[in-house]
Amino acid sequence: MPEASAVVASSESGRKVTLGTQVYAALSQRLVGGELAPGEKISLRHIAETLGTSVMPVREAVSRLVADGALEVSPNKAVAVPVMTREAFCELTTVRVAIEGFAAEQAAYNHKNSDMAGIAAHDAAFRRECEAAIPDRVAALKANRNFHFALYAAADLPTLMPIITGLWLKIGPVLNLDLRLSSQRLAIGGAEAQHARAIAAVRARDGKEARAAIKQDIETTAGLIAATGRLAR
């Protein structure tokens, strides 16, 4: 590796995490952060060069992402970010409501009181961005993501977290694509209200209410995106 890469190569850290895992994390972050647009083609060698590694770790990371459905390999052997059809988007939303709703419900039952601070902090950051005069939309989406994952983590079901992460890996690109294209409005309708409702429900250990809040949060946001008519087919 001639010159060190800024993305991987947190070279100071211990040699416990493999390069392939680091590449996977880097690609995941770009995917869920919307830096990779749907339909965009990916080249193993180009990514390897960008990240300052060889093709090997990139291959491992990409194969995992393909297995997760976060990337797609065309019959012509080209790796690309999948373009989501409206149908697939609706189906994904259905599954998200079921699984993330369940996670929220379990969080209401199983959370420790010490979990609430972090959840509330992320919600506060999200609310701050939403109510700002000139909202930083990237920061808002990041705070939103942090809020959701902190909430789900409070359910204390380790099996569930990678599953939900895989779901977000798929919606990340279309979410941020919408964000990028509709730069005039904040594509978050009443999310703050649902977040507050969810937090109150979790605090009260009311699982059904927490599930309902998350369900509405997901569905309204998904509805806004579907309404743009920007999805394929």
Partner DNA sequence: TCAGCGTAAGTGTGATCACAGACCGCGGCA
Partner DNA sequence: TGCCGCGGTCTGTGATCACACTTACGCTGA
Residues that bind DNA (CB under 7 A): 1, 15, 18-20, 42-46, 53-57, 59-60, 62-63, 73, 76-79
Q: Which residue among 95, 124, 132, 200 contacts its own copies (CB under 8 A)? A: 95
Region binding its own copies by CB under 8 A among candidate stretches 4-12, 31-39, 94-102, 223-231: 94-102
- Residues of span 2-21 touching its own copies by CB under 8 A: 16, 20
Greatest extent of the chain over all pairs of C-alpha atoms, in Å: 56
Nearer to its own copies by Cβ, of 51 and 62: the residue is 62
Count of residues interacting with its own copies (CB under 8 A): 29
- What's the min distance (Å) between Cβ of 201 and its own copies? 18
CB of 232 to DNA, least distance (A): 19
**201 phi/psi in degrees, rounded to 5:** -65, -40
Residues 151-170 that bind its own copies (CB under 8 A): 157-160, 162-163, 166-167, 170
From the list 169, 198, 200, the residue with the least C-alpha distance to 66 is: 169
DSSP state, 40?
-
Hey, which residues does 226 pair with through a beta bridge? none
DSSP state of 16: T
Q: Which residues sit opposite 56 in a β-bridge?
A: none
User: Could you tell me how far CA 62 lies from the centroid of its own chain?
Assistant: 17
CB of 5 to DNA, least distance (A): 10
Helices H / strands E in the chain, number of each:
9, 3
Nearer to DNA, 74 or 228 (CB): 74
Nearer to DNA, 15 or 112 (CB): 15
Which does residue 1 bind out of its own copies, DNA, none, counting CB within 5 to 8 angstroms by kind? DNA
CB nearer its own copies, residue 49 or residue 156: 156
- Please say whether the beta carbons of 126 and 192 come within 8 A: yes
Cα(180)–Cα(110) distance, rounded to whole angstroms?
37
Q: Measure the CA–CA gap between 154 and 15, rounded to whole angstroms.
A: 30
Q: What is the amino acid identity at position 60?
A: E
Residues contributing to the site for its own copies (CB under 8 A): 16, 20, 24, 59-60, 63-64, 67-69, 75, 88, 91-92, 94-95, 98-99, 102, 106, 157-160, 162-163, 166-167, 170
